[in-house]
Copies of this chain bind each other. A is one copy, B any other.
Amino acid sequence: MNDATRTSTNPPVLPMPDLRDSFPGPFPASAHADDIERHATQWLRTFPLIRSERALSALTHITGQGVARTFPTAGRDELFLCADLFLWLTAFDDAHGEATGAADPARLLRTTSEYVHLLAGHHEPPGGPSVFGAALRDLLDRYGERATPAQYARLTAHLRDNLFGILWEAHHLHRPDRVTLPDYRAMRPHTVFVRTVVATAEVMLGYELTEPDRSSEPVRELETAVADLAGWINDLASYAKETARDGSATLGLPALLMRRHECDLEEAFRRASRMCEQQAAVAAARIAELTAGGGSLADHAHALRSVASSYVWHIDDSRYRT
């Protein structure tokens, strides 16, 4: 707890990854950034997923600006959809996951079952309609209008994985010692929503990977590197805030590395930073390789570069300052 307290009052002492070689920035942003922010605010008036005006304003700001960097060349309506999807996941995690979910996991399961029902293709919620359910229906309808059957099925599958990740986290918040590094590596991409964002790229940007390309080694390695990087830098950036709030940073990479290597927080941040830099270098090399060939593989590599860039960009946002 001493380490945590020290961190929350003086975060700059901890070593952070230097990603400038791999993702140099400045990161291009869509001209629609402010429109996305305005739209997102309006969407959250239609579907009031967030009660606090202050939280709503902070979240629509980072989401609007972030999504504008995730897919800088996407159309306006696609950007709106991507932003709303990300807002839904973040708002659900904030409202029902984390400490609330950990306090009553069975209740979280029941809440989640409504969304599993909608994701499985039913149009009506099993019980009374909820605000989160209505918002999810809106998202699925809008996505369904733009996606092929396979793209739609893949998105709903990834959303199930996000819900599973939130459940997993709620079950381990108070028993982080039961979580191994391989457990964490498998689950972290789902709790940071990065694979879901990647799954939307084809619809956002209008390309389609062939199945052999999708399952090829370069694409798999690139996606894994970006997924790891997104979760890990998020852990480092949010460590102080999460620790100060509800102790959920105990499930993050620094805490895991401290336990595994019996080291202090600074050493854990140093190790984590090196891990981030390594995955960033792997991702950058695969992006260079794939963009050189052109075609839909190059489109996908460009998408992965901007997705990674938006995660790199957003850890500097005020949402993560204590």
Contacts and interface: CB of A to CB of B under 8 A. Distances in A.
Interface of A: 105-107, 109-110, 112-114, 116-117, 119-122, 126-127, 148-150, 153-154, 156-158, 160-161, 163-164, 167-168, 171-172, 175, 178-180, 182-183, 185-187, 190, 195, 211, 215, 220
Contact of A171 (B105, B148, B156, B168): B105
Nearest 4 CB-CB pairings of A with B:
A126-B186, A153-B153, A150-B150, A127-B182
Contact of A113 (B112, B150, B153, B186): B186
A211 B149 contact: yes
A194 to B, nearest CB: 12
A198 to B, nearest CB: 11
Kindly report how many copies of this chain are found in the complex they form together: 2
Nearest to A117: B186
Nearest to A148: B150
A126 B185 contact: yes
A185 B127 CA distance: 10
Contacts of A175: 106
30 contacts: A105-B105, A105-B171, A106-B171, A106-B175, A106-B178, A109-B171, A110-B183, A112-B164, A116-B161, A116-B164, A116-B186, A116-B190, A117-B186, A120-B157, A120-B161, A120-B195, A121-B215, A126-B185, A127-B180, A127-B182, A148-B150, A149-B211, A150-B150, A153-B153, A157-B157, A157-B160, A160-B160, A160-B161, A160-B164, A163-B164
B186 A114 contact: yes
